[in-house]
């Protein structure tokens, strides 16, 4: 075989994608360069970190992991980019591919720094002091951990080597995840930056992260709340420039599908993510990690060592401990829910807290949860000011304003402006009846 034929064969092998079979999205194409990143131990670790932590105590099918969620988010990010690119201009096809590849990597790696059992294990992450972020002893956030792993481990070298031909850099991936550049903006398009738009596609009001986890979590928990019309939303997604900023947009014909998406997320938070049993397992883990028995049980700051900190690592530590909170977790013996109150009744129950704490002597936990419909407000004040606005491109003939913020177009935001508050009291089984009687006497509240 001649040199030219060998080079052509090498090119085909280099660019030929592989397929991953996914129960949610079907076959997902992965480039050889992405495959090399996926093979890195820090990404492979996500195979051993459950997406929903302790939710399998309630939903036995919820044993899916952050690994496949990350693959699915990358897949959706590619589809979303292909939708919005119709409204964008690039200097070259290679530049377009560079931005697309960077966005897909950001989607793939967005959960890299999650602790074991996901959100429930955030106290396991190393301190900001150990990570060199600040002088605080607080645990770093999973976003901070992700950034450190992306920039300071040998994963950065893998990205540089595999994507050298496209000019994709680890700091560009981190830039999308943070929503801001450390130096020069790598996503300038003329006078405008594409960064706010790219950030929205990963962590916005209609982002690929949420789109994947709602469908995936709904499937594996066996509930129907998280379903929505993904294909319609993607086919009517685009970009618009308002006051010099490039932002995500949807056509007005897709607003009802977007409202359904928001309601799906809202109901999943109410019925799955904030389920009473899942929350008490998270709280018991926090109590264990705050105890003297858990000294030394923390994820290390070093990337190689962090790759070994997975769910089984944590469960092994819990099994080895004689701590009562650890024993409750591994023996599936949570505190018993004795009271649950919503909104105004939650405020009434809160008034009983000092007396209940004084009169009950055993283990007990108060878990206070606020479930928000959206980070956007009908008064245009966002609870997430770091995120760009999602706009609606109004398609109605004769409309005076062709582009509107979505919270001004849909009245669903004003109807759900107030977060729902849920206050729960958990007690040891031996005190459950006494606690119920006290609540009836103190507040006259109905109890579980």
Answer yes or no: is 404 within a domain: no
87 Cβ neighbours under 8 A, 6+ residues apart: 238, 239, 240, 249
Examine the domain organization and report whether 210 and 266 are in the same domain: yes
Answer yes or no: is 11 within a domain: no
Answer yes or no: is 147 within a domain: yes
Examine the domain organization and report whether 133 and 102 are in the same domain: yes
Examine the domain organization and report whether 288 and 349 are in the same domain: no
165 Cβ neighbours under 8 A, 6+ residues apart: none
Examine the domain organization and report whether 292 and 189 are in the same domain: yes
Q: Which CATH number characterizes residue 270's domain?
A: 1.10.3210.10
Examine the domain organization and report whether 146 and 62 are in the same domain: yes
11 Cβ neighbours under 8 A, 6+ residues apart: none
Examine the domain organization and report whether 257 and 157 are in the same domain: yes
DSSP three-state, residue 225: coil
Examine the domain organization and report whether 320 and 342 are in the same domain: no
Answer yes or no: is 409 within a domain: no
For the CA atoms of 189, 193, 195, 201, what is the dihedral angle to 10 degrees? -70
Answer yes or no: is 411 within a domain: no
What is the number of other CB atoms lying within 10 angstroms of the CB of residue 194? 21
Residue 382: per-residue pLDDT: 43
Examine the domain organization and report whether 122 and 256 are in the same domain: yes
Q: Which of 276, 271, 284, 279 is nearest to 333 (CA)?
A: 284
CA-to-CA separations, 66 to 158, 160, 431, in angstroms, rounded: 21, 24, 38
Q: What is the pTM of this model?
A: 0.92
- Find out whether 76 and 84 touch, Cβ atoms under 8 Å: no
- Find out whether 57 and 120 touch, Cβ atoms under 8 Å: no
DSSP three-state, residue 161: helix
Residue 76: per-residue pLDDT: 99
- Find out whether 175 and 186 touch, Cβ atoms under 8 Å: yes
What is the number of other CB atoms lying within 10 angstroms of the CB of residue 361? 11
Examine the domain organization and report whether 428 and 361 are in the same domain: yes
Answer yes or no: is 379 within a domain: no
For the CA atoms of 242, 244, 248, 253, what is the dihedral angle to 10 degrees? 30
Examine the domain organization and report whether 316 and 424 are in the same domain: no
Give the domain extent around 111: 17-324
Q: How many domains does the chain have?
A: 2
- Under the phi-then-psi rule, with left for phi > 0, alpha for psi from -120 to 50, and beta for the rest, what region is 13? alpha
Examine the domain organization and report whether 344 and 319 are in the same domain: no
Answer yes or no: is 138 within a domain: yes
Q: Over its length of 448 residues, how does the chain's per-residue pLDDT go in tens digits? A: 455 544 444 444 456 789 999 999 999 999 999 999 999 999 999 999 999 999 999 999 999 999 999 999 999 999 999 999 999 989 999 999 999 999 999 999 999 999 999 888 899 999 999 999 999 899 999 999 999 999 999 999 999 999 999 999 999 999 999 999 888 899 998 878 999 999 999 999 999 999 999 999 999 999 999 999 999 999 999 999 998 899 999 999 999 999 999 999 999 999 999 999 999 999 999 999 999 999 999 999 999 999 999 999 999 999 999 999 999 999 999 999 999 999 999 999 999 999 999 999 889 999 999 988 876 644 433 445 556 899 999 987 767 788 999 999 998 888 887 889 999 999 999 999 999 999 888 876 555 5
Examine the domain organization and report whether 304 and 339 are in the same domain: no
The Cα–Cα gap between 41 and 155 comes to: 9
Answer yes or no: is 131 within a domain: yes
């Amino acid at each position: 075989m001649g040199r030219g034929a060998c080079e052509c064969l090498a090119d085909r092998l280099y660019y030929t994608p592989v397929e991953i079979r996914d129960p949610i999205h079907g076959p997902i194409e992965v480039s050889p360069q992405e495959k090399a990143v996926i093979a890195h131990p820090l990404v492979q670790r996500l195979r051993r970190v459950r997406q929903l932590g302790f939710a399998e105590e309630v939903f036995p099918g919820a044993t899916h992991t952050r690994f496949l969620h990350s693959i699915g988010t990358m897949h959706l990010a590619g589809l979303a980019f292909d939708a919005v690119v119709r409204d964008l201009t690039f200097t070259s096809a290679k530049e377009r591919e560079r931005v697309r590849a960077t966005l897909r990597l950001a989607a793939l790696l967005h959960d890299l720094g999650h602790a074991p059992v996901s959100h429930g294990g955030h106290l396991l992450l190393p301190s900001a002091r150990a990570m060199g972020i600040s002088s605080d002893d607080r645990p770093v956030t999973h976003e901070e951990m992700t950034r450190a792993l992306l920039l300071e481990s040998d994963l950065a070298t893998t990205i540089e080597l595999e994507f050298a031909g496209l000019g994709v850099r680890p700091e560009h991936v981190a830039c999308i995840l943070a929503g801001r550049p450390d130096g020069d903006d790598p996503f300038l398009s003329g006078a405008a930056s594409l960064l706010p738009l790219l950030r929205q596609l990963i962590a916005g009001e209609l982002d690929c992260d949420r789109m994947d986890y709602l469908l995936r979590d709904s499937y594996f928990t066996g509930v129907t709340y998280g379903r929505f019309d993904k294909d319609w939303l993607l086919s009517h997604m685009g970009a618009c420039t308002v006051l010099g900023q490039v932002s995500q947009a949807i056509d007005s014909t897709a607003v009802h599908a977007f409202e359904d998406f928001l309601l799906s997320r809202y109901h999943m938070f109410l019925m799955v993510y904030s389920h009473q049993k899942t929350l008490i397992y998270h709280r018991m883990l926090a109590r264990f990690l705050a105890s003297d028995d858990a000294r030394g049980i923390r994820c290390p700051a070093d990337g190689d060592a962090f790759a070994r900190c997975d769910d089984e690592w944590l469960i092994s530590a819990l099994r080895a401990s004689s701590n009562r909170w650890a024993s409750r977790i591994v023996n599936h013996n949570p505190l018993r829910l004795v009271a649950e109150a919503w909104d105004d009744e939650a405020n009434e129950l809160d008034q009983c807290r000092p007396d209940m704490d004084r009169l009950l002597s055993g283990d007990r936990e108060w878990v206070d949860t606020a479930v928000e419909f959206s980070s956007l407000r009908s008064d245009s004040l966002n609870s997430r000011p770091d995120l760009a606005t999602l706009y609606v491109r109004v398609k109605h003939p004769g409309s005076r304003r062709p582009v509107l913020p979505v919270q001004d177009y849909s009245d669903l935001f004003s109807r759900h402006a107030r977060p729902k508050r849920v206050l729960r009291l958990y007690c040891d089984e031996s005190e459950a009846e006494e606690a119920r009687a006290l609540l009836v006497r103190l507040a006259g509240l109905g109890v579980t």
